[in-house]
Structure 1
Amino acid sequence: MTDDQSSVEAAVTLGLFAAWALHDTEEVLTTARWIRKNVPRLRERWPDVPERVWRLMERADGREFTAAVGVMAGIVGAGAVAGWASGGRSATYQAMLNGFGAHGLLHIGQAVAVRGYTPGVVTSPLLVVPFTVWARRRLKRAGVLRPGRARDVVAGVAWAAAATAVSHGVAHRLVRPRS
């Protein structure tokens, strides 16, 4: 182990991947069924949402969603390893950690908006948000946490959005190859 790696425990950096995997297991197990059951009701409740959004949601079947999660596993795993290798200093790792926490808050907000269960809402307040807060505290205690600025939150959310878009794009091509 290098001096950089000893800055924070592996649980802080590699734990991001473990927490993400548990959270996304909930999503894999619930998303396809939830979409089939709830999109008609949501479509009626929010008629101003563009029809294209509803069609995209309905198109995402279980296989494609699971493939997207597999692609995201590689992205999150690489970020967690970058965090571990740098002792938590990696800007990529810290952006991923911030994005993961913001992602958990988004799940909670979605559940509030639909007034019920949404995929990922169980593990968000029990795992995603607490892990993010705990890991940030450990990084701060080790003196490696980058100062928390609004642009860091934006960078974390941007990272999560971009990684999600890439994952779903790759999954779509893998599951539904062009003829």
Structure 2
Amino acid sequence: MAWGLLAAWAVHDAEELATMARWTRAARPRLEERFPRVPWERIEVSQAHASVAIGLMGGVMATASALGARTGGRSAMFQAALAGFGVHGVVHLAQAALFRGYTPGVVTAPVVVIPYAVWAWRRLRRAGVPATGPGAAVAAFPLVLAGVHVGAHALTSGRKKVRRDGRS
């Protein structure tokens, strides 16, 4: 059950990896029109940034899954990641509704993310595993997400662009 978190995350983030950078570029004019106060030029997501951010989050999810497996789901980090992942799925649905169309991750949110999170919580409850409060997870999720994106920005900005002939 605990390793299912990593598996569900991998399926979901494969969708995000395949669509995020291209979608962000294509949707930006519409986003700027609908939400003019958002500094969209600072939020642009390159494929390199998306790849690194997803890789960093993969490390977080792998760690949470390993702790969940080792503790039978009792790990606070596992439960926080599970709660954050489920909330993340709901956020994807809200984003798509607000955007009134496709947003990266919305396909797998209702068929992978939310069903896995509900199933995992039910399994934990049936096994008598006490649930830690979701408040910490909900509070930590934006911080972890921001940290991942700050890390990705640090790792991908300032990189020299290499021309096709190999020279910088």
Both structures adopt the same fold (TM-score exceeding 0.5): yes
What amino acid is the match of 2:118? V
Q: Distance in 1 between matches of 2:135 and 2:28?
A: 29
Q: 2:42 aligns with which of 42, 56, 60?
A: 56
Instruction: Return 93-102 or 165-174, whichever deviates more.
Output: 165-174
Instruction: Return 125-134 or 157-166, whichever deviates more.
Output: 157-166
Show structure 1 runs of 5+ residues with no match.
1-11
- SS of the counterpart of 1:121? coil
Moved >6 Å (runs of 4+): none
Q: Distance in 1 between matches of 2:34 and 2:146?
A: 26
Query: 1:17-48 CA distances to partner (integer Å, 9 max, x unpaired)?
Result: 1100110010010011111111111111222x
Q: How does 1:1-179 map to 2 (within 5 A)?
A: 12-47=1-36, 49-50=37-38, 52=39, 54-58=40-44, 60-146=45-131, 152-177=133-158
- SS of the counterpart of 1:19? helix
Q: Distance in 1 between matches of 2:82 and 2:148?
A: 17
Query: 1:107-160 CA distances to partner (integer Å, 9 max, x unpaired)?
Result: 00000001100000000000000000000000000000416xxxx333222222
- SS of the counterpart of 2:129? coil
- Over 3 Å counting, the alpha-carbon distance change for 1:178 and 1:30 in structure 2 is closer
Between the two proteins, the alignment pairs up a number of residues equal to: 160
Query: 1:46-77 CA distances to partner (integer Å, 9 max, x unpaired)?
Result: 22x23x2x12222x201011101001111110
What amino acid is the match of 1:156? A
The question of whether the paired residues in 2 share the 8 Å contact of 1:96 and 1:159 is answered with: no
Q: Distance in 1 between matches of 2:157 and 2:31?
A: 26
- SS of the counterpart of 1:88? coil
Instruction: Return 126-135 or 32-41, whichever deviates more.
Output: 32-41
Show structure 2 runs of 5+ residues with no match.
161-168
What amino acid is the match of 1:61? S
Q: Cα RMSD over matched residues?
A: 1.5
TM-score by length of 1: 0.85
